[in-house]
Every structure is written in C-alpha cells, then in structure tokens.
C-alpha cells in the first residue's frame, strides 16, 4: 500500500482530500502542522511514499517550507525518497510552478 502524509491546516478540506486519497487506495495520515510533518518525515520507522502539501495562502514561504520538508525526508536516508505533491486553490503563476517543479515536486491547482 502507498502511504501518504497530508499537510493541511483546514480540517474540512483535509477530511475531503483524505477521503479522496483513501478511495484511490492510499493509506493517509494528516497533520495541520509543518513541524509535526517534519518530525514524521524524520522518523526512521515511518514509511511515507507521498507527501501532499496544501498551499492555502499567499503569505507563507511555501518554497522554504517545501525545502524544509524535503530536507527532513532526505536526512533519514533509508529507502526511497517520498514524492512531493503541492495542491492549491490559488494560482501563483508560472514562475512559482516552475520553482516547485525544479525542486522535484509537482503543483496541482484545484
């Protein structure tokens, strides 16, 4: 089974997205906290295949947050590195999307 970590601070949105991921056969755990997500990614026992980051506003430094999450996953150094998917209702423009993709992640606009 594919294990996903969903990071979303909007509980209602997270519940809907978690249901959609579960319907596609993923085992999903959720957190609203970036710090908690970093802790989970650094846990050697955790096996996370996909990290879904919900980008919900324009004032957080999302590129820095994505980098922090990736660094946490790389530090463990066991198994394969998880894939990163950023999901947003906001369109930040082509430049932002290219920056996300240059970091090895994907951006999907809802």
Q: How far apart are CA 48 and CA 46, in angstroms?
A: 6
Instruction: List pLDDT tens digits, range 76-95.
Output: 765 678 999 999 999 999 99
Instruction: List pLDDT tens digits, range 17-48.
Output: 999 999 999 999 999 999 999 999 998 777 89
Residue 88: give its domain's CATH number.
Answer: 3.40.50.2300
Q: Is the dihedral of CA 103, 59, 17, 79 positive or negative?
A: positive
Residue 24 sits in which domain range?
A: 2-109
- pLDDT, position 79: 63
- Total domains, the chain: 1
**Predicted structure pTM score:** 0.94
Helix H or strand E segment including 83: strand 83-88
């Amino acid at each position: 089974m594919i294990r996903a970590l969903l990071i979303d601070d909007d509980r209602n949105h997270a519940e809907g997205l978690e249901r959609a991921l579960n319907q596609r056969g993923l085992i999903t755990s959720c957190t609203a906290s970036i710090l908690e997500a970093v802790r989970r990614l650094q846990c050697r026992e955790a096996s996370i295949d996909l990290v879904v980051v919900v980008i919900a506003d324009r004032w957080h430094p999302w590129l820095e947050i994505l980098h922090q999450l990736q660094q946490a996953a790389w530090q463990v150094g066991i198994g394969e590195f998880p894939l990163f998917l950023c999901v947003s209702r906001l369109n930040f423009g082509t430049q932002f999307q290219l920056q996300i993709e240059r970091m090895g992640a994907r951006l999907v606009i809802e």
